[in-house]
Every structure is written in structure tokens, then in C-alpha cells.
A and B are shown apart, each in its own frame.
Chain A
Amino acid sequence: MATTFYGIQATATLPRWFSPLALIGSLALTTAMFVVSGFTDESGNLNLLAIAVLGFALYMIMTYLISRGVEGRRKATDRMVTGWVSAAFALAVVPLVSLAWTVFEKGINRLDAEFFTSSMRNVVGEGGGALHAIIGTVELTTIATLISVPLGIMTAIYLVEYGRGRLAKAVTFFVDVMTGIPSIVAGLFAFSLFLILLGPASAINGMAGAVSLAVLMTPVVVRSAEEMLKIVPNELREASYALGVPKWLTVVKVVLPTALAGIATGVIIAIARVIGETAPLLLAAGFTTSMNYNPLSEKMMTLPVFVYTSYAIQGTDAASYVDRAWAGALTLMLIVMLLNLGARIISKLFSPKG
């Protein structure tokens, strides 16, 4: 029996170029209106935000009416929603792009060889660099990672694979609490710990900073590793047990490798989170203008603290301090970008193939 689906055949559709053209058209029209009516500020600039908002409104109204006439109600609503969602997306991305661009534009001035090869020792005014801060950030973050990754992953394994009853509940509760710790509290904790251990003369050092970062990082690692372990299908564990593989080997050789990509990504995101921490480091690792490779003694500079102090304590030649602050911020941003890139590569490499 042949049936004709009128609904599918009958509706006309607007051509593909309709939407972009309509958007450009409405923006152009709004701009023209602003220009013609001389609607500018004192120095003759157009208000771009107002043009964007009005142009978008015009586009939405126009699209809805035209689409409703040509394509019918369902399609018109579809276009409306698409419009709103795209606008929301643009709204979310604009500040991000603008931020990245500002940091890039201002930071590039001082992103030269000297910046990466010298410290701020005996520098007043121009020149100098952030090598001491870069070394500090790399060392501290590495130590924090070395502390919190094994701790975090093992805690997650305990919670997912072994934990039952009160102890597991208590651990989950503490992890939750730790996730909410303000970073300055982590700094205070590390500072007081080292004050008790080493006394006031040498309490502030790289290790104290690393410990404060580890305190912040561990719960993040636990949480993400826990999520990743939970989504490993139980069937794989059972398949392994059924082959006569003991539980611990099943965890080490089946569960962990299956979850590895996710865990690695989680770890890198956790690193990216703490690498920009300023407050706890200001407190626990202090700040200095000199190179210090040894995290076990003396104060240690880090990039976020470098940015902060350069900006907050400007010397005689203020402009060069500000330039260095921006260059430090850009370096930090580049490191985070590299880390994210690394996370992607790792998850590509490790994820189960198939």
C-alpha cells in the first residue's frame, strides 16, 4: 500500500545562505542606522555592543517572521532556538577570547630570550626575567604532583574497589571537605606545618609551597580518578576474576589501564588548576628575586607570585614591571595550554582502541 507523506514533501525550506546573510544584513543595517543618525560618543566612535545587541534582535525577528511564512512554525521555532543557543555560546566565548588576546598582546612585549634566561637579581627598571619563577613553578608543581597523584589515585582505588562501610564514608566526607578548602587555608596549613617542623627562620621554602599545592590538588585527583574508575564496566572485573586473577592484579592490570586515559586527563587538569595558585604560595613559599633551585631551603619564586609582585610592587621604572607581569601571565597561560594539549595527546594514546 502506497502512502504519501505530505508532511515531508510539502514544506519549502530557506536556502543555506539565508542565516549568515540575514545576520550580516541585520548588522549592516543597524550600523547604517547608527551612522546616519550620528549616534556616536564624544570622540565619534560607534557603540559596537549596542550594534551587536540590536542587530541580533533584528536578525531574530526577521528570521522568525520570514521562516514562519516560508517554512512553517516548527522550523521557525527551531531557528529561534538555534539563534539563542549560538548567542549564548558567543557570549561565553567573547570574554575568553578577549582575555587571551589581552594577555597575549601585552605579554608579548617582554617575551624575549632575556625573560627566559635571567632572574630579577639586582634588576631595577628594565631587563631582568622570570627564570627563577619558571623554575620555581616547575619544581613546586612537580613535587605537588608527585605527592598528590599517588595519594589521590590510591585513595580513589580504595574508595571504588575496596571501600565499604564507615571508613569509606568518612574518607569520602573528608575528600568533599578538602575540595572546598579555600586556597589560602591550604597555604596557612603548609606554613604552620613547616613553622612547627623547621622553626620561624626557615619555615618558608619551596617544599612548604609544594605541600600547600598538594593539599589543594589531592581531592581533585581523587574525585576525577574515582569517576574514571567507576565507569570501568563491572563485566571486565568479572571477566578477570573468572580467569582466576586475584583482585589486586585485576585492579592493577585491568581496571587501571582501562581508566588510565581518563585519570591522566584528570591529573593534568588538576595540575592546570593549581599551577596558577597565588595566595598559598605567597604565604608558604614566599617571594624572592634570586634563583633558587633547592626547594628544601630558602624562599622560592613562582610565576603567579612573580606576576603579583611585579604588578603590586612596581619599582622606579613602573612600565617595565608591568610589562614583566604581563609576560609572566602569558608564560603561565602558555604552560597551561601546553598541559591541556598534553592531556589530549595522553588520552589519545592511552584510551582503549577499537
Chain B
Amino acid sequence: MSKRIELKSLNVYYSKFLAVEDVNMVIEPKAITAFIGPSGCGKSTLIRTLNRMHEVIPGAYVEGSLTMDGEDIYAAEVDPVKVRRQVGMVFQRPNPFPTMSIKENVLSGYKLNNNRMSKSDADELTEKALVGANLWNEVKDRLDRPGSSLSGGQQQRLCIARAIAVEPDVILMDEPTSALDPISTAAIEDLAVELKEKFTVVIVTHNMQQASRISDMTAFFNIAGTGMPGKLIEYDRTEKIFSNPTQKQTEDYVSGRFG
């Protein structure tokens, strides 16, 4: 399943500091939405509000509304833990669990939640998730080796396998390829394109080519200056943003004439 996410006048705070101001946008299902913009404009901050990871930081909170297929995920009775089960996340730095094997890492979404499953189910799920993350062929003979024994690119795909194994509706990726070589990057880009068949994919990237290659929609964020809140400047189809943006700031940024 894949879900439509709607943000309405969303303000994101770190204690008193307003990091992102007044975001209104609709993130389409079965599509890749890219967040681009200069460093510090609040891309990571915003993407982390989509699975309520933002509030893990002491003092951090959100104003406004954020709905997923019409359901307000910030409603008082909603458990953030439940939200995170529906919205998977891949981080900038690969972070497999060092105490677990490759297989245990893939199944960690179940294991850590004390969900029992039969061995055959576990094997099946492991294979399915690893195939889904384009990693199966590389690791099928060493599933019991520690997850940290893989290369950086493989670790990142393991983290993707871990995220898709729990079958979420949405996958968030915060600069998933910034620590990887071009070949691993290409593998992950291909994977993102495959993932959008089933999930809503949101990706933060500093790589303009990457955004234009793989995303369907692009959101450009900017800040007026340090200490000022980040704002959504323009949000449109990717071709439009990269070929014919309405805002001058967007054009300057995507054409590299920024700052």
C-alpha cells in the first residue's frame, strides 16, 4: 500500500527555534518526491516530521497538520510508534545493528518488537526483502555474518531491506547516497525507482542530477539567512522545477548560480 501525505501550514520547532515555517504540500503516493535546497534549510527536519522522529529530540515539536490518507498522524490519540511502523526511514549514514547478523538485521523490525515468526516465514521474508533491496545475490551465502561486515553501499542497501521488510506505506530517505560511491549510488537510485511501485518515496538529496533522474516531484526549500526558518519555495513536477521554474531562487539554485 502507498499513502498520500498532506502537510498544512506546518511549523517545525526545536524548542523556541522555528526551523521550518509554514509548509503546505501534498506528497503523492506511488511517486518519488525529492527535497532539495541548501544546507541548513530544514530538509532533514521536515522529513523527520513525516514519521514523528522529530519529537525524539528533547524540546522538539510541530504545529499545523500532517495527514496520511486523511488520518491526522499528530492527533492526540495516535501513538508515534504506530506511525513509525507505517513509515520506514533510511538514514544518511548506513546504521545496521552491529550486534546482529545480516539476516537478523533484515528481520529486526519484527525481532525488536518481540514478534515471533516461524523459521520458514523468516527465511522467506529475508529473501524477499533482500531481493527487494538488490542485495540478495551478494549476501545469500553469508546471511549469518555480522551486518557490519558489508561494504558501505551494501550496508545502506541492508538498511533499505530492513526498512522494507516491515512493509511500510512510506519510505523516507535522508541523503541515502551521500556516503556512497557512484556504483552503489546507481544501485540505490534504481532501487528507489523500483520502490515507488509499492511505496510513497521521499528522498532528500544534495545531488541535483539525482533529483532530476529519479524523482517525479521536487520540492525546493531555502532560508533567508542563518537563524531564519526554512521555507518551501517551490513545489512542482520535477521537469518543471529543473527546466522552467517559476521562482528566480529556484532557477538560481538548480542551475548552480546560487549564493
Name A residues whose Cβ lies closer than 8 Å to a Cβ of B: 164, 233, 235-236, 238-246, 249-250, 253-254, 257-258, 260, 352-354
Contact = CB atoms under 8 A, between A and B. Distances in A.
Contacts of B166: 243-244
Contacts of A253: 111-112
A287 B86 CA distance: 64
B53 A254 contact: no
Interface in B63-104: 81-86, 88-89, 91, 93, 95-99
B53 A245 contact: no
B159 interface: yes
B224 interface: no
User: In this complex, which of A239, A244, A245, A353 has the most chain B Cβ atoms within 10 angstroms of its Cβ?
Assistant: A244
Contact of B97 (A239, A242, A249): A239
20 contacts: A164-B58, A235-B95, A238-B56, A238-B95, A240-B112, A242-B91, A243-B88, A243-B108, A243-B112, A244-B86, A244-B166, A246-B81, A250-B112, A254-B112, A257-B99, A258-B97, A352-B148, A353-B99, A354-B147, A354-B149
B98 A249 contact: no
B91 A239 contact: yes
B105 to A, nearest CB: 10
A245 B112 contact: yes
B84 A242 contact: yes
A244 B98 CA distance: 19
B118 to A, nearest CB: 20
B113 interface: yes
B146 interface: yes
B99 A245 contact: no
Nearest to B165: A243
B200 interface: no
B163 A243 contact: yes
B91 to A, nearest CB: 6
Contact of A242 (B88, B113, B149): B88
A73 B190 CA distance: 58
Contacts of B98: 236, 258, 352-354
Contacts of B112: 240, 243, 245, 249-250, 253-254
B81 to A, nearest CB: 5
Contacts of A250: 112
B51 A242 contact: yes
Contact of B159 (A239, A245, A352): A239
B162 interface: yes
A166 to B, nearest CB: 15
Contacts of B245: none
Contact of A235 (B58, B82, B91, B108): B91
A246 B159 CA distance: 19
A200 B97 CA distance: 55
A242 B83 CA distance: 9
A243 B109 contact: yes
B95 A244 contact: no
Contact of B85 (A244, A249, A254, A257): A244
B178 to A, nearest CB: 14
